[in-house]
A and B are shown apart, each in its own frame.
Chain A
């Protein structure tokens, strides 16, 4: 086949060394995002063999890992753009397919790039709660499975490119002084590698600082691009889903609301006043959302384990938490005994010194250390002991 006219690329920066350096940073960002994403997935949907091996300390664990997840994903955006820029000429290599191995390798690159772009785009949009994909696919499961595909393609890519990566890491200044001087002279004509790498680092740093404020509240002022203002909202804590969105109306939580604790030897039915008359516990625990925002808050309420003991629950029982919310995948959730027995796991009645508002889960909500925000059930109706 005759070679058609293909675009020519003259920059010296489409070389192995630049690609290796940018690629390493990108790889670190992707592996960080993958591992922290895995942590989040396990905490939200624990497989049965892990369900009783999750820990509640440190209480800010999920806050840290999920903050890192979003930060590494955001930082990966300029890194991926720079990486793709360096290797873009390879798209026009000729002949396009040399052998079966070569075809497979190019296919794996397509998978890697498609997966990487998909993960960053859907993650960024999800953090902004902009579900552009509508009903085309469910975010959680698709983001999860494409992450495995992307990580697999990444490890495969590192294996295939290992010799080039090894060459890229060698310092040309020490090993090839001749070529290095030549390279340097050529680079004077354009942008130097040092400038390119530094610029990429500055771009990654800028987007990180511009968005990290939703998890690190102290730098919130400079984080002009974070999709969330934390520290604002009722009682100083943002609200992800309002009572209206969850289908909870004021009449559902009227004065005759009672908390039921069932499934133990002594079923309980308590009004809010009766709950408030029980021994109260204070805890400073963060709310950390899967979208990356998090904020510390002061909670007051009744220890969940005290309620379980009063209701005659066995010591090793798990708990099913039933909310009054009508729509949403987390209206009924399981709280494993490791969480339920924690000394700071509360059925909270107060937030930051004030009674809960309806949008914060009035009359009573769950707050447990080191758990994703979606599992901090609001508008609790019933606690069912799973014996």
Chain B
């Protein structure tokens, strides 16, 4: 079990390093600032905007609603939120033109 665990850790590190090396040396990716901006921007958006908004809603719901209503609200929030995110490119950019 221990062997398995440590080999997973070592494999993970090796694959991660391979990916970083590939990203740094890919001739098609001359500037890394754009990639870094998007990588960290996604985390920042989630951790500082989306998650606090969701937890604020959870806090409100915990104070104002009964457990039964809360379960329904949580379900609506997760399903509707996921559908909205997946639909966002279509809503904002439009469907790929039909030709």
Q: Do B82 and A203 touch across chains, with their CB atoms under 8 A apart?
A: yes
The tally of CB-CB contacts under 8 A between chains A and B is 200
Which of A133, A151, A196, A229 is the one whose CB lies under 8 Å from B34?
Answer: A133
Knowing A136-B35, A188-B67, A190-B67, say if A117 contacts B82 (CB, 8 Å).
Answer: no
Q: Does B49 contact A (CB under 8 A)?
A: no
Which of B1, B12, B62, B79 is the one whose CB lies under 8 Å from A154?
Answer: B12
Q: Do A145 and B23 touch across chains, with their CB atoms under 8 A apart?
A: yes
Q: How far is the CA of A190 from the CA of B78 in the complex (A)?
A: 16
Which of A110, A150, A229 is the one whose CB lies under 8 Å from B98?
Answer: A229
Q: Does A64 contact B (CB under 8 A)?
A: no
**Chain A residues near B51 (CB-CB < 8 A):** 84-85, 88
Which of B6, B62, B99 is the one whose CB lies under 8 Å from A234?
Answer: B99
Knowing A117-B42, A232-B98, say if A196 contacts B74 (CB, 8 Å).
Answer: yes
Nearest neighbor of B17 in chain A, beta-carbon distance:
A152
Residue tally, chain A, CB below 8 Å to B: 82
A residues sitting closer than 8 Å to B (CB atoms) are 7, 9-11, 74, 77-78, 81-82, 84-85, 88, 91, 108, 110-111, 113-115, 117-118, 121-122, 124-125, 127-130, 133, 135-138, 140-142, 144-160, 162, 188-192, 195-196, 199-200, 202-204, 206-207, 210-211, 225, 227-229, 232-234, 238-239, 242, 359
Q: How far is the CA of A137 from the CA of B9 in the complex (A)?
A: 30
**Can you list 7 A-B contacts (CB < 8 A)?**
A81-B78, A128-B95, A142-B23, A149-B23, A153-B12, A155-B12, A191-B71
Q: How far is the CA of A146 from the CA of B19 in the complex (A)?
A: 6
Q: Do B39 and A81 touch across chains, with their CB atoms under 8 A apart?
A: no
Q: Do A199 and B79 touch across chains, with their CB atoms under 8 A apart?
A: yes
Q: Do A207 and B89 touch across chains, with their CB atoms under 8 A apart?
A: no
Q: Do B95 and A228 touch across chains, with their CB atoms under 8 A apart?
A: yes
Q: Do A242 and B99 touch across chains, with their CB atoms under 8 A apart?
A: yes
Knowing A81-B81, A203-B78, A210-B86, say if A160 contacts B9 (CB, 8 Å).
Answer: yes
Nearest neighbor of A237 in chain B, beta-carbon distance:
B99
Q: How far is the CA of A91 from the CA of B48 in the complex (A)?
A: 11
Nearest neighbor of B38 in chain A, beta-carbon distance:
A118
Knowing A159-B5, A227-B90, say if A233 contacts B55 (CB, 8 Å).
Answer: no
Q: Do B35 and A137 touch across chains, with their CB atoms under 8 A apart?
A: yes
Nearest neighbor of B2 in chain A, beta-carbon distance:
A162
Q: Does B40 contact A (CB under 8 A)?
A: yes
Within B37-55, which residues are at the interface with A (CB < 8 Å)?
37-40, 42-43, 46-47, 51, 54-55
Q: Do B12 and A148 touch across chains, with their CB atoms under 8 A apart?
A: no
Q: Do B58 and A152 touch across chains, with their CB atoms under 8 A apart?
A: no
Which of A113, A138, A239 is the one whose CB lies under 8 Å from B29?
Answer: A138
Nearest neighbor of B70 in chain A, beta-carbon distance:
A191
Q: How far is the CA of A302 from the CA of B37 in the complex (A)?
A: 49
**Chain B residues near A114 (CB-CB < 8 A):** 39-40, 42-43
Q: How far is the CA of A82 from the CA of B77 in the complex (A)?
A: 11
Nearest neighbor of A134 in chain B, beta-carbon distance:
B34
**Chain B residues near A124 (CB-CB < 8 A):** 86, 89
Q: How far is the CA of A118 from the CA of B44 in the complex (A)?
A: 12
**Chain A residues near B5 (CB-CB < 8 A):** 159, 162
Nearest-neighbour CB distance to chain B for A34, whole angstroms, equals: 10
**Chain B residues near A74 (CB-CB < 8 A):** 86
Interface centre among A82, A124, A135 (most CB of B within 10 A): A124
Q: Do B12 and A158 touch across chains, with their CB atoms under 8 A apart?
A: yes
